[in-house]
Chains A and B, each alone.
Chain A
Amino acid sequence: MKLPSVPVPDLYVKDLTLRSPEGRCLLSIDHLHVAAGESLAIKGPSGAGKSTLLFAIAGIIPVSSGTLAWGDADLAQMSDNARTQFRRDSLGIIFQDHLLFEELSAAQNSSLAALYNRPHTRTNIAARARQLLHDLGIKDHDRPYVDSYSGGERQRIAVARALAADPQVILADEPTASLDRETADRLIADLTRRAKHDGRTLICVSHDQALLAAADRVITIQEGCISADTGRHRDTRGDNDV
């Protein structure tokens, strides 16, 4: 069930600033490099700007100045349409508050990408979504309304949605927040395995110690700046060995 994919690019961030519409500085990152295939965890106090950073990396929030590049493609220079296409082709995003479509079933939610992706990928996406739901332990995928699922189940449906198109890069905002320990551990193992074995890049915002421990590298965000960067550094351009 392989989907056609572009090779995973590295992420380069340089002198990035991001301001709120009112002009308040929300993010200020001098330098960040995430190699392809690396798993990075982001932690920090509430309101520090972790979700904002994730949104910026996804090209959802336009940056105010600086460079934010996936490979050669600088999101800061790209049009809104091009950034959207980049998300469609390369990213899988798990949002902090799941953001599911209540009026759709679990199967429909997790295969949402099939609706707007190229027609020939549709069956693959839908089949992968079902397999993922199954692997993540979600039963009866066709219950008409997803809001009858528990918080943890909804979170897993959101995970299935993010992974259904087999993205090169997985962005996750607190993916284990509403899961019990056992389910959380399984998910962590699954996500990190994707990074290690399938060469996917994984960037997670989390407070979950297990996730932080499983990640190749942990950065801490405080008041919009990176205050700490620990773990196996692979900070050289083009260096791809583990």
Chain B
Amino acid sequence: MFETFWFALPIWMQDLLVFLALLAPLFIAGLICLRGYRITPLLVGLLRRHRMISLTFMALIATSVAISASLIAQERGLRAGTARAAEKFDLVVAAPGSEITAMLAAVYLQPSALALVDGDTYIKIATHELVSLAAPLAFGDSWNGAPVVGTTDAFIEHLGDGLSTGRMFATIDEAIAGAAVDLSIGDKIAPVHGDGSAGAVDEHGFEYEIVGTLPATGSPWDKAILVPVESVWDVHNLPNGHGSDWDGTLGAPFAPEHFPGTPAVLVRAEALWANYALQSEFNTDPNTMAFFPGSVLAQLHALMGDIRQLMSVLAVTTQVLVAIAVLSGLAMLSKLLSRRLALLRALGAPRRFILALNWGFATVLIVIGAGIGLVLGIGATAILSAMITQRTNVLVTAHLGWPELHIVAGFVSFVAILSFIPAYAASRRPITEDLRT
């Protein structure tokens, strides 16, 4: 009954209801405790009088909330970003080895040494009846830190769903720049061997001219320069995939006896089932290994899921520790306030009023602190996302979402309930001693 009702609700409504349910203890407790009283003038007075302490407490709470909220949001953003970056890579075929290494190299362009898929195997893949796209991906060169990858025009079309400016390369010395590469049409580049980090400048003495640029894909490929695969083989003094009668037309078909090998082949079939069929077929072939980057990533994410849980636990623990520190601070502060509280009691204020005042004070600090923390968290998340994007070229757009709001709401409620302890203690202090001091 409840379940059918619940699952009929839109997701955002479910999230909102969970959020409100988590805040409910705070509101109910507040309603019961504050009913019939006006504590605002005294509260504002206390906050003003003890503004340094109040600000410090709020800053502590804000920091812990910001850190945990942005960490959790970041982790989610990272997962979404890495998954998005792998979207265009339906099936990757490589020489047998580590799937993760092959995925990091092919999808995220991390430099690594991969064994090669030979010409016969490549031709077998490319001519398979189910295959609609089989693009060799040849890594190893770079220009100014940007990877230079040899491939075919079909792959580039697939990767960017077309170019954003210019035209496709037509000759061996033309290149396409990724969206984040600082090159424009007409620029000339001379790639070096390796990723350029060792400082050993080993120029091939071969120049490309940029003739087109790709739209942004949110993946490391935005930082790549794509060149005809023939040219990569050429500059490494390898056969260029075509026979001696080659007329200079780039791309398939390649001749197996002139095919020097490629570290990875991106394979696509039109139908989803066909992709699965291809994967199992190439996986049973002893010369190749075929995998879906998406599912390798899912395994990695599952692994990260455990870390995320650990992180959530750590985040919550930190928050609770900070809250306890703040509450003990407040307990000490209420000693400072004891004369005022005793005076209120002497004038006839009920115990519950003292309780309400103390609790209200703590809760205002917690709620405002958590609110500031969320705002800081949004900022921190944006900055962290930008940093990760900058470093990995995987576009990470993390936003604070419901999970963070839920954690913060639960935290606020929990600490608000907890702060009844010092508030209650303050309301039980003897009047006379406190009034005389």
A residues lining the B interface (CB < 8 Å): 55, 58, 60-61, 80-81, 84-89, 91, 93, 95, 99, 101-104, 108, 112-116, 118-119, 122, 161
Is B350 engaged at the interface, CB distance under 8 Å to the other chain?
yes
Q: Across the two chains, which residue of chain A brings its CB closest to B349?
A: A116
| Complex A-B: 20 CB contacts under 8 Å | A55-B346, A58-B346, A60-B432, A60-B435, A80-B351, A81-B350, A88-B347, A88-B348, A93-B346, A93-B347, A95-B343, A95-B346, A99-B339, A99-B343, A102-B49, A104-B41, A108-B45, A115-B42, A115-B349, A116-B37
Complex: how many Å from CA A102 to CA B50?
12
Complex: how many Å from CA A93 to CA B343?
10
Are the C-beta atoms of A112 and B347 separated by less than 8 Å?
Answer: yes
Given B45, B346, B351, B353, which contacts A103 in the complex, CB threshold below 8 Å?
B45
B residues lining the A interface (CB < 8 Å): 36-39, 41-42, 45-46, 48-49, 339-340, 343-351, 353, 431-432, 435
**With A61-B432, A115-B42, A122-B38 in contact, do A88 and B350 touch (Cβ < 8 Å)?**
yes
CB distance from B338 to the nearest CB of A (A): 13
Chain A contact residues: over half helix, strand or loop, or mixed?
Answer: helix
Are the C-beta atoms of A101 and B350 separated by less than 8 Å?
Answer: no
Are the C-beta atoms of A101 and B349 separated by less than 8 Å?
Answer: no
Are the C-beta atoms of A108 and B41 separated by less than 8 Å?
Answer: yes
List chain B residues, Cβ under 8 A from A81. 350-351
Are the C-beta atoms of B432 and A55 separated by less than 8 Å?
Answer: yes
CB distance from A16 to the nearest CB of B (A): 16
Q: Across the two chains, which residue of chain A brings its CB closest to B45?
A: A103
Are the C-beta atoms of B350 and A116 separated by less than 8 Å?
Answer: yes
Are the C-beta atoms of A113 and B347 separated by less than 8 Å?
Answer: yes
Are the C-beta atoms of B36 and A84 separated by less than 8 Å?
Answer: no
Are the C-beta atoms of B46 and A103 separated by less than 8 Å?
Answer: yes
List chain A residues, Cβ under 8 A from B41. 104, 108, 115
Given B339, B340, B347, B351, which contacts A87 in the complex, CB threshold below 8 Å?
B347
Complex: how many Å from CA A95 to CA B339?
13
List chain A residues, Cβ under 8 A from B48. 103
Are the C-beta atoms of B432 and A84 separated by less than 8 Å?
Answer: no
**With A104-B41, A104-B45, A115-B38 in contact, do A88 and B349 touch (Cβ < 8 Å)?**
yes
Complex: how many Å from CA A91 to CA B348?
8
List chain B residues, Cβ under 8 A from A84. 345, 348-351
CB distance from A106 to the nearest CB of B (A): 12
List chain B residues, Cβ under 8 A from A80. 351
Are the C-beta atoms of B432 and A101 separated by less than 8 Å?
Answer: no
Most chain A CB neighbours (cut-off 10 Å) among B38, B347, B435: B347
List chain B residues, Cβ under 8 A from A58. 346
Given A61, A85, A108, which contacts B348 in the complex, CB threshold below 8 Å?
A85
CB distance from B269 to the nearest CB of A (A): 74
CB distance from B376 to the nearest CB of A (A): 28
List chain B residues, Cβ under 8 A from A85. 348, 350
CB distance from B206 to the nearest CB of A (A): 77
Complex: how many Å from CA A58 to CA B344?
13
Apart from the given pairs A55-B346, A84-B350, A88-B349, 11 other A-B contacts in the complex at a CB distance below 8 Å = A88-B348, A88-B350, A93-B347, A99-B343, A101-B42, A103-B46, A103-B48, A104-B42, A114-B38, A115-B39, A116-B348
List chain A residues, Cβ under 8 A from B432. 55, 60-61
Are the C-beta atoms of B45 and A101 separated by less than 8 Å?
Answer: yes
